[in-house]
């Protein structure tokens, strides 16, 4: 399913340069191919704004069903933007009221940085949950990532997340709970996925609320769960969309926070991410950095190129498969000309099975 560059969003050019197929709008118009319109509520902080766009768009554009993808990024009140990120949103993001009027087939809601222990007190809480409520009745499926999942758990089920004693940060092994759900079609029974979060919702909490848990990890907890109907909401606690360098960039940001005295300790390594050789290089770098910082000398340059050569990506193929399955179900359920076949884990008599579609 190729992405369609229907706007001047810079991520389209960046993805095309990286080798992903991206159709120009004129070429797309010449093809007799069905369109899927997907809203993208990006609440990530400024430093990760554009990278997050590309990460999700790459997974969407790597799916293999015959359709054209129109991605519609937008934002909400309560997510403040400054500088280049503010200009990016102003110049390239769309108006949600217009998207509502035209209709969407699916929606993705990203994570966000929080400042309150109680997420219901965040400034973006009410706008975010209002969009969730609209999507619940107007799009086939909403995929929530990280903080958005925790917000939906709280909003719809009263589930309180637990603050972890230590940041859950790294790459973890996962297993599928049951292969019967169509989201797990052709998925490896064991695979890796990154996580990066300070809070957790346990499997028992989800199941007590009637949610279907699909993928778990002994170390990291639940990766993927779905709403009781099987697909109206898909909840990720981890990050299958991450690039190979995402955790390294987070690690560098934590080092910068240490240098600015925003954290007292030098950041630990993300779990299961850096190999022994990379760890050795970074231990030398830590020694040199701490010595330079304490003596007032220039901070040494982070050995990025050397570390990049030692990183392994063990999760993207599975992320593509999961998104392909999600989009395949959206494709079926929004096709008004086809009767929904019974699929394990999805109730054909539920309103979800009737589909909603869009007015494009």
Indicate if 234 and 293 belong to the same structural domain.
no
Q: Scan for tokens 């099975």, then name that residue.
A: 353
CATH number for the domain that contains residue 109: 3.40.50.880
Sheet holding 68-74, edge to edge: 22-24, 3-5, 68-74, 35-41, 106-109, 141-145, 233-236, 221-226, 212-217, 162-176, 190-200
With contact defined as beta carbons under 8 Å apart, do 174 and 192 qualify? yes
Q: How confident is the model at residue 357 (pLDDT cuts 50, 70, 90)?
A: very low
Range of the domain at 194: 3-242+315-354
More confident residue, 69 or 287: 287
What would the two tokens of residue 19 be? 């080798």
**Residue 72, C-beta contacts closer than 8 angstroms, at least 6 positions apart:** 37, 38, 39, 40, 94, 99, 104
More confident residue, 338 or 168: 168
Indicate if 290 and 187 belong to the same structural domain.
no
Cα gap 71→39, rounded to integer Å: 6
User: CA nearest 80: which of 38, 49, 51?
Assistant: 49
Cα gap 357→360, rounded to integer Å: 9
Indicate if 166 and 282 belong to the same structural domain.
no
Within-domain flag for 359: no
Cα gap 132→148, rounded to integer Å: 9
With contact defined as beta carbons under 8 Å apart, do 119 and 155 qualify? no
Q: Scan for tokens 């389209």, then name that residue.
A: 12
Indicate if 202 and 283 belong to the same structural domain.
no
Cα gap 149→197, rounded to integer Å: 12
Report which DSSP code applies to 117: S
Q: Is residue 342 over pLDDT 70?
A: no
Average pLDDT over residues 27-53: 87
Predicted structure pTM score: 0.89
Indicate if 264 and 133 belong to the same structural domain.
no
Which ranges constitute the DSSP H helices of the chain? 10-17, 25-30, 49-61, 83-92, 96-102, 125-138, 147-157, 203-208, 246-259, 276-295, 304-308, 316-333, 351-354
User: CA nearest 191: which of 169, 210, 215?
Assistant: 215
- pLDDT tens-digit map of 151-170: 999 999 999 999 999 999 99
Q: Which of 291, 308, 325 is the last residue of a domain?
A: 308
* Active site (catalytic) residues: 146, 239, 241
- pLDDT tens-digit map of 294-331: 999 999 999 999 999 999 999 999 999 999 999 989 98
Q: How confident is the model at residue 65 (pLDDT cuts 50, 70, 90)?
A: low
- The number of folded domains in the chain is 2
Within-domain flag for 360: no
């Amino acid at each position: 399913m190729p992405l369609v560059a229907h706007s001047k969003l810079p991520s389209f050019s960046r993805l095309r340069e990286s080798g992903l197929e991206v159709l120009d709008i004129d070429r797309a118009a010449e093809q007799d191919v069905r369109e899927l319109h997907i809203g993208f509520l990006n609440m990530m902080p400024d430093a990760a704004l554009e990278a997050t766009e590309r990460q999700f768009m790459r997974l969407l554009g790597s799916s293999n069903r015959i359709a054209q993808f129109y991605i519609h990024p937008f934002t909400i009140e309560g997510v403040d933007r400054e500088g280049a990120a503010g200009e990016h949103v102003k110049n390239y993001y769309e108006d949600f009221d217009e998207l509502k009027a035209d209709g969407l087939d699916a929606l993705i809601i990203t994570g966000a940085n929080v400042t309150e222990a109680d997420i219901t007190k965040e400034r973006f809480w009410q706008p975010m949950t209002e969009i969730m409520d609209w999507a619940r009745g107007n799009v086939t499926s909403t995929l929530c990532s990280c903080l958005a999942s925790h917000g939906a758990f709280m909003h719809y089920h009263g589930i309180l997340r637990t603050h972890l004693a230590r940041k859950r940060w790294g790459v973890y092994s996962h297993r599928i709970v049951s292969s019967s759900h169509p989201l797990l079609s052709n998925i490896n029974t064991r695979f890796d996925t990154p996580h990066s979060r300070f809070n957790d919702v346990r499997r028992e909490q989800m199941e007590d609320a009637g949610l279907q848990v699909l993928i778990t990890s002994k170390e990291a907890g639940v990766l993927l769960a779905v709403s009781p109907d099987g697909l109206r909401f898909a909840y990720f606690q981890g990050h299958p969309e991450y690039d190979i360098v995402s955790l390294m960039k987070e690690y560098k940001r934590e080092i910068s926070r240490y240098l600015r005295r925003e954290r007292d300790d030098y950041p630990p390594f993300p779990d299961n991410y850096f190999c022994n050789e990379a760890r050795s290089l970074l231990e030398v770098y830590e020694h040199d950095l701490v010595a330079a910082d304490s003596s007032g000398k220039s901070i040494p340059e982070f050995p990025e190129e050397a570390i990049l050569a030692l990183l392994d990506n063990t999760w993207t193929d599975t992320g593509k498969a999961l998104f392909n399955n999600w989009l395949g179900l959206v494709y079926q359920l929004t096709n008004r000309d086809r009767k929904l076949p019974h699929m394990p884990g999805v109730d054909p008599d539920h309103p979800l099975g009737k589909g909603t579609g869009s007015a494009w």
